[in-house]
């Protein structure tokens, strides 16, 4: 689940540049998701948004997190997606 908070978005485009799937575009200087099905719910965009304008709940697309957190249990919940937060 991913949600862009329009009121907080400054249009800096960092999320668009960092998204590995290329599913973020700018619309009227606000970030929007263009293809929900292709979003991995990896959280990289939210981690790199300095304005807390993106909320991501890791979903089934984040296989790395599921393996590390839920199957191997080698990382704390919410840290295992490998999207730049040290995991
Ligand atoms: S990184 Fe945050 S503030 Fe910048 S465009 Fe994306 S959602 Fe907006
Ligand atoms: S959660 Fe990952 S795949 Fe989805 S929009 Fe953000 S950076 Fe792109």
pLDDT value of position 86: 45
Q: Which of 7, 9, 83 to mutate to test the pocket of ligand 1 (most atoms within 8 A of CB)?
A: 9
Query: Looking at the domain assignment, is residue 33 inside a domain?
Result: yes
Query: Looking at the domain assignment, is residue 22 inside a domain?
Result: yes
Residue-range definition of the domain harbouring residue 29: 2-59
Residue nearest to atom 5 of ligand 2 (CA): 39
Indicate the number of domains in the chain.
1
Q: pLDDT digit string (tens) for 23-79?
A: 999 999 999 999 988 898 888 999 999 999 999 986 655 666 666 666 777 766 666
40: Cβ contacts below 8 Å, ≥ 6 apart: 20, 21, 61, 62
Query: Looking at the domain assignment, is residue 75 inside a domain?
Result: no
Query: Looking at the domain assignment, is residue 83 inside a domain?
Result: no
From the CA of 49, how far away is ligand 1's center (Å)? 5
Query: Looking at the domain assignment, is residue 27 inside a domain?
Result: yes
pLDDT value of position 74: 72
In this prediction the pTM is 0.74
* Whether the CB of 53 sits within 6 Å of ligand 2: no
* Whether the CB of 39 sits within 6 Å of ligand 2: yes
CATH number where 53 lies: 3.30.70.20
Query: Looking at the domain assignment, is residue 37 inside a domain?
Result: yes
């Amino acid at each position: 689940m991913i949600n862009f908070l329009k009121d907080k978005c400054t249009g800096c485009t960092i999320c668009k540049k960092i998204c590995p799937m290329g599913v973020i575009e700018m619309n009227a200087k606000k970030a929007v998701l263009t293809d929900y099905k292709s979003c991995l719910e990896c959280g990289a965009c939210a981690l790199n948004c300095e304005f807390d304008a993106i909320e991501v709940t890791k979903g089934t697309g984040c296989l790395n997190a599921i393996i590390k957190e839920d199957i191997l249990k080698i990382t704390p919940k919410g840290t295992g997606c490998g999207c730049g937060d040290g995991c």
